[in-house]
Structure 1
């Protein structure tokens, strides 16, 4: 599918695979990464991409997958297949830990049924066979050693060994103390020689202690003797240990025999862990490069939006270089071939390699750094001619190597072939290389191939402009600042800016003058025209960017206005409802009071004194009702005097509310004010500037509030175990408060794990304007599990 084979290395795909290998936890997973190859089946590519995307979403938004133990158990299972063989204790322990991991993973996805449908396909309905787990747990403990109660006989032998060792030690201590008392011993305590506990005896006294001499010191002055009293006991211990070992072998053999029928299932478990490790590594790499899943097309097309070269992107992140300029490119049935021209070091080759590398990654099931709205089709073949392939062994010159590839391309390419050619036509006399390159391009175009070709040849630019299916494109260049912009623009060819670059480098003027005289008049006109076109395109592009920015600002203002209008309308309706309800209640209470007054007059038979009292009560209720009515007084806002300036740090009073606030930023006719921990935006003519005593009082109140805020402020945030969104929200709240009270730094405890949470937190800190820098905690106190953020 890929020709020649070294194109994989030249496009950077081999390096991508190495970076994914580093993310694997197991050797089996690394072996799977090494076998990654571009696929041509649409459904297979779709499944691989969706699995990587689901695992990436799981890492970012869900609880961590319980993948604590990834052991290479395949060789262990192979060993268990052999009749009569037995697995060692540590081998059973590895199987035990792997089974626990498998079952934890299966339970994890069972609890999230249909949430990750493509990852669930990896399980192939694998059962949880707890009998295997229970059988091993009855024999092997959590340290990987056989349990003393694995069998009754083993327990009895262990007890006998312990009893015999205690008896031997007791007798040995008695003999040692007696020898010390008699002055026969050398300096030192009991020691082990040949696996037996011995007493250090001076050489001249070695005949005085009955026993077996196991060793002597280097000087010959000390003999190490195993006393006769414990010799037989030690032999007994040795025999019991041999017996214990035979019993352990019997138990392990029996356990292996029980395990043997489950060997196929164990292989399936091993395969599951390997696949999970593989997909996990792809997802982790996707997070590093901000990889997304593009749309998959059945047509042979490429539509990349905001695409980046993954290796350049990683390099810029690590070294802190300028951001990589994204690439927007479209290849379809109409514009099948892009002929990219432009200045040297302007990004032509990077553009071509980006297309080729992302296509290989996409067809290999890897997420790529682009917008998810991008669309890529599937190509059966990828042909690339990049760099110099001259060979002394094959007697091939640079140009001969290029022609050999062109021969292959023209013979075997078709409508499902992506062709990538760098510096098309170079390597020989331009007088002949140009026409040959044009002829090859014509043949490839007739074969309906898709591709990206870079060149400096003017005849190819002219041919592309007059040929259907081939589209000119250029890398933009700022000919005033004399630097490339790395922006691809389709539709017009680009100048090589040879004379401009030569002049900027400092080539002597007489050399440039001679060179201009030597080129043809027509060629000079063409190049001048291309330079003018580039300048005009740059102006159009800048104008377009400015218009788009202005449109976004207008839309944002319109949205804000609509929200405010909606808010005011709702408030108005609510006030009307409240007023109507209050009026109804007042009328109801008034009617009730009048009715009660009339009834009282009637019941007192219009007694004058009683009538006077009732009327007084009615008047009193009326007066109270009048007192309750709010006095509607809306003071007209006093506009700020034209000649009175307001600066950052001044104290003002908001006319409508009477609140006092401090000016923290000026924005045209608006003021950004701080009211304690809150921020608000007010028109300049809606405030009054405070002076003298009023300003002093406001400042004093602010300081008291600030001191209280500092007193109860904690500069340490612990977000371990939290989801990414919750963690970032909590950090944002504390950061905002730290900025408001002027706190210099924050300590963020996020833990290590896979590093996902740390990555998102540090990406957020980079974008927070008031964070000047951040760094790891000291390695002894948490290392990269803790981040210190410094606030300017």
Structure 2
């Protein structure tokens, strides 16, 4: 699938595998990582990716998976399979710990049934055979040693050994004390020789103590003797230990025989632990490189969004470097081959290797550091020509090695082949290398291959621009700061910036001028055009970013306005409800008062004084409600819109804030543009009251004094040189607004000559500004078209 074989290493895939291996807990897991290879079956790739994604979700969002002990069970199960063999105590202990881990894992996923569907496939139909664990636990303790009560015979032998050892120790202590009393012993205490407790006796006294001499000191002055009466007791202990060892082997053999029928299940458990360790390591690596699962496609296509090279990302994190610049690239039926050009050290090779490496990772079931909206297809072949494959043994030069690869590419490539070529055409005379490279590219294109090719050759850039299926792209370069931006821009070729880089490095100007004279005039024009195009495109990009930002701000303002409008409507409805309720209550009380008055008049039998008094009370109640009504009318009257005509220059008061402002413009939709100091705002006519008479004179006087102070402080000159377009327009707008507010007649704008881009943006803005009557260049002796004078009306 991959040609040549070392391409997988040059793309960095083996380094990815090594990083994953470091995450494994077991040797079988590391062996599985070593066997990772790109696959071509879509369903298999999808399953591997989903398992890794689910394990990543588990690591990030769920309780830890119980994987404390992942001992390899397979070699122990294979050993137990052989008739007559037996496993040791430590080996049974490892099986016990591994089985506990297996059962804990199965219970973990049973508790979350359906949540990790693809991980559950790893142990589907695997039973929890607790009988094996119980059998081992009756024999082996938690320290990995056999329990004394594993059998009745073993318990009896253990007790006899303890009793015999105590008896032997007691007897040798007595003999030692007697020898010390007689003065036979050398300095020191009881010591062990050949596994037996011995008494250190002076050489001249060794015949005085009956027993077996096991050793003597280096000087020969001390003999180590086991007393005769203790010798028989120690032999008894040794015999008991041999019997105990035979009993232990019998128990282990019997336990192994009980385990033997379960060997296939143990092998299945081994496979589960190995696979889980393997998937866990892939998921941990995915967490480290912030990897996601892309969308898989049946087509041979690649659409990477926010992709980053995983090895660069890991190094950046280790060294606390800035974030790796993301890559956005699309390879599909229309743009099958992306021809990347641009300056040296600008990121062309990294771009190509990122595409190749991430493709290999996806087809190997690994998540990739790219946005989850990325889309990746499946390729049956990956052909790569990266680096120098010069070989003395094979008598291959650099260029011959490149040509041999091109031969293979043109013969065996097809539409399901991903071709990656770095520095296409180099290694020989450019006069011949360029045309040969163009012919090879044409042949590959005719086969419908997909790929990424990096080059500096202009003929290839021209060929790509005129050929269907090929698309130029360039790595952006900041030709002001003279540094690469590592951003891929599809749609146009890039300049190599050879002269600019050489100038920055400090190559003498006379050498550079000589070099410029030696290259063709046409080539120089093409390179200059590419530089200009790149600069223009960067400015357009910056403008788009600024416009996008403004659109987001407007959207936020719109949302706030709608929320405020909704709030006001709700308040209006509440006030109307309260007013209706109050009116209903007034009518109710009035009716009651009238009825009571009539009743009392009847009771008083038309007494004049009493009737007069009742009429007076009724009249007072009516006046009281009339007064309330009048107040309400006054409130409504104050809240109503002043129907008087409001013109530019009038002074108004904003009802909501009691703030005075001057009308700068009467806009459509009953909107007024008001000046509040140096700020401008838009307010509805219904929200303001026109000021008249003394109130207007007072406000004008106050603002005139403030305006005088502003004129004294105001500088009618703004320097925009060196600014980005967005920042320059923001600064110009601020100064222009202030000049209009204080009534300043002219404004001097310094934008420089350069390529004329900033001058064009400034003048386009001035044409749209309502208060600028005209503008013109400064006198040629004082700056000419590098300075613009704006006249404000």
1:546 corresponding residue in structure 2: 546
In the alignment, is residue 464 of structure 1 matched against residue 469 of structure 2? no
1:149 corresponds to 2:149: yes
Distance between the aligned counterparts of 2:306 and 2:562, measured in 1?
A: 32
How far is 1:549 from its partner? 2.4
Once the two structures are TM-superposed, the CA of residue 194 in structure 1 deviates from its matched residue by 0.7
Task: State the 1:51 CA deviation.
Answer: 0.4
Alignment partners' CA distance in 1, 2:256 and 2:560: 72
Structure 1 pair 580/276, CA: closer, same or farther in 2 (3 Å)? farther
Question: How far is the alpha carbon of 1:188 from its aligned partner?
Answer: 1.7
Structure 1 equivalent of residue 775 of structure 2: none
- Distance in 2 (alpha carbons) for counterparts of 1:351 and 1:11: 11
State how far apart, in whole Å, the 2-side matches of 1:253 and 1:462 are. Answer: 80
**Superposition deviation, residue 153 in structure 1:** 0.4
Partner residue of 1:391? Answer: 391
Name the counterpart of 1:44.
Answer: 44
Matched, 1:494 2:476: no
Correspondences of 1:467-616 after superposition (within 5 Å): 467-563=467-563
1:764 aligned partner:
none
- Once the two structures are superposed, what CA deviation does each residue of 1:42-76 show, in whole Å capped at 9, x if it has no partner? 00000000000000000000000000001122211
* 1:322 alignment counterpart: 322
Partner of 2:335: helix, strand, or coil?
Answer: coil
Residues 208-219 of structure 1 mapped to structure 2, 5 A cutoff: 208-219=208-219
Q: Tell me which residue corresponds to 2:763.
A: none
1:140-159 deviations in Å (ceiling 9; x for gaps): 00000000000000001001
Matched with 1:406 is 406
- The match for 1:118 is 118
CA distance in 2, matches of 1:244, 1:478: 83
1:294 alignment counterpart: 294
CA distance, structure 1, for counterparts of residue 301 and residue 510 of structure 2: 49
Write out aligned runs for 1:216-255 (5 A): 216-255=216-255
What residue number does 2:70 align with?
A: 70
How far off its partner does 1:228 sit? 1.6
1:639-654 residue pairs with structure 2 within 5 A?
Answer: none
**C-alpha displacement of 1:545:** 1.7
- The 4+ residue runs of structure 1 with deviation greater than 4 A are 560-577, 579-587, 636-642
For 1:580 and 1:117, locate their aligned partners in 2 and report how far apart those are by CA, in whole Å.
62
CA drift of 1:223 comes to 1.8
CA deviation after TM superposition for structure 1 residue 575, in Å: 8.8
- Per the alignment, residue 698 of structure 1 pairs with none
CA 1:268 to 1:570, structure 2 compared with 1: closer, same or farther past 3 Å? Answer: farther
Shift of 1:411: 0.2
Distance 1:129 1:561, change over 3 A: farther
Question: Given the superposition, is the C-alpha separation of residues 559 and 22 from structure 1 closer, same or farther in structure 2, using an over 3 Å criterion?
Answer: farther
Relative distance call for 1:288 and 1:564 in structure 2 (3 A) is farther
Aligned mates of 2:549, 2:211 — CA distance in 1: 99
The reply on whether 1:35 has 2:35 as its aligned counterpart is yes
| Cα deviation, residue 166, structure 1 | 1.1
Secondary structure of 1:146's counterpart equals: coil
Of the structure 1 ranges 249-258 and 475-484, higher mean CA displacement relative to structure 2 is found in 475-484
> Relative to 1, partners in 2 of residues 1:548 and 1:183: Cα closer, same or farther, differing over 3 Å?
same
Q: Distance in 1 between matches of 2:64 and 2:567?
A: 42
What is the rounded CA distance, in whole Å, between the counterparts of 1:105 and 1:585 in structure 2? 73
The answer to whether residue 100 in structure 2 is matched with residue 96 in structure 1 is: no
Moved more, 553-562 or 96-105: 553-562
Rounded Cα–Cα distance in structure 2 between residues aligned with 1:245 and 1:574: 95
Structure 2 alignment gaps of length 5 or more: 601-631, 636-654, 662-678, 682-793
CA distance in 1, matches of 2:570, 2:349: 59
Displacement, 1:136? Answer: 0.4
The total of aligned residue pairs comes to 613
Cα deviation for residue 182 of structure 1 reads 2.4
Q: Per-residue deviation at 1:434?
A: 0.8
Q: Which residue of 1 aligns with 2:201?
A: 201
* 2-structure distance, mates of 1:192, 1:639: 105
Using the size of structure 2 for normalisation, the TM-score is 0.73
What's the CA shift string for 1:16-37, capped at 9, x where partnerless? 1000000000111011001000
Change in Cα spacing, 1:202 to 1:434, as seen in structure 2 (3 Å) is same
Aligned-residue CA RMSD (Å): 3.1
Q: Deviations over 1:79-135 (max 9, x none)?
A: 111100000000000000000000000000000000000000100310000111110
1:264–1:216 Cα change, 3 Å: same
Distance 1:263 1:583 in 2: 89
**1:581–1:218: structure 2 CA closer, same or farther, 3 Å change rule?**
farther
Partner in structure 1 of residue 345 of structure 2: 345
**In structure 2, what is the Cα distance between the partners aligned to 1:248 and 1:558?**
84
Shift of 1:582: 10
Change (3 A) 1:179 1:304: same
Matched, 1:331 2:331: yes
What is the CA distance between 1:219 and its match in structure 2? 2.0
Deviation at 1:184, TM superposition (A): 2.2
Q: Distance in 2 between matches of 1:419 and 1:170?
A: 85
Distance 2:580 2:87 in 1: 84
Shift of the alpha carbon at 1:203? Answer: 2.1
Per the alignment, in what secondary structure is the counterpart of residue 208 of structure 1? coil
The answer for the alignment partner of 2:706 in structure 1 is none
Q: Deviations over 1:628-655 (max 9, x none)?
A: xxxx99xx9987999xxxxxxxxxxxxx
Change (3 A) 1:16 1:572: farther
CA distance in 2, matches of 1:17, 1:325: 23
The structure with more radius of gyration: 2
